[in-house]
A and B are shown apart, each in its own frame.
Chain A
Amino acid sequence: MTDFLKAYSIQYWLESCPQGYLEDTVHGHGPDDHEPDALLEDPTLREQAIRTTVQLVAGERCALAASSGLINSAPDEASKRFLATQTLDEARHVEVFTQRLYDLGVKPRELEDVIAAYANPHLIQFAELLLEKVDAKDFVAGVVGQNVILEGMAFSVFEMMETVNREANPKFARTLAGTIADERRHVGFGENRIGSLVREHPEKKNEIETMQEEMSYHMLATFADQFRSPEMRAERKAAQQVGNWNQGKAPEWQGVDLRAADPKEIEQALADTILVAFKERLGRIGLDYRTPRQP
Chain B
Amino acid sequence: MSEGQDIHALPPPEFERRVRSFEHWFDAVEGYLGGLHNGHAPIEEEPLDDAERARLVRVLASYCVGESAALEGASGLVRLAPNTPFRIFLATQVADEARHLEVLLARISELGFAHPEAEVERCAAPGIVRFKQRLLELIDAGEWESALFAQNVMLESMEYVTFGAHARTADPVTRDVLERVLRDERRHLGFGENEIGRLLASRPAAADRLRVVKRELDALVLDTFEDAAREIGLSASEGPELGRAYLQAVARLGIE
Contacts and interface: CB of A to CB of B under 8 A. Distances in A.
Binding between chains A and B: yes
Indicate the size class of the contact surface on chain B. 35 or more
Interface in A72-92: 72, 77, 80-81, 83-85, 87-88, 90-92
Given A77-B101, A80-B72, A69 B78 contact: yes
B117 interface: yes
Interface string B33-59: 110001000000000000000000000
A64 B91 contact: yes
Contacts, number: 95
B88 A94 contact: yes
B102 interface: yes
Nearest to B76: A72
Indicate the size class of the contact surface on chain A. 20 to 34
Contact of B102 (A10, A92, A108): A10
B78 A64 contact: yes
A9 B102 contact: yes
Provide the main secondary structure of the chain A interface.
Answer: helix
Contacts of A98: 84
Given A27-B23, A65-B78, A88-B91, A71 B102 contact: no
B75 A26 contact: no
A91 B99 contact: no
B98 A81 contact: yes
Provide the main secondary structure of the chain B interface.
Answer: helix
Contacts of A94: 84, 87-88
A68 B94 CA distance: 8
Contacts of A27: 23
Interface stretch (A11-19, A34-42, A122-130, A285-293): A11-19
Given A80-B98, A88-B91, A71 B72 contact: yes
Contacts of A88: 22, 91-92, 94-95
B87 A84 contact: no
A71 B91 CA distance: 12
The winner among A14, A69, A91 for most chain B CB atoms within 10 A is A91
A257 interface: no
B71 A80 contact: yes
Interface string A180-217: 00000000000000000000000000000000000000
Interface of A: 9-11, 13-14, 18-19, 22, 26-27, 61, 64-65, 68-69, 71-72, 77, 80-81, 83-85, 87-88, 90-92, 94-95, 98, 108
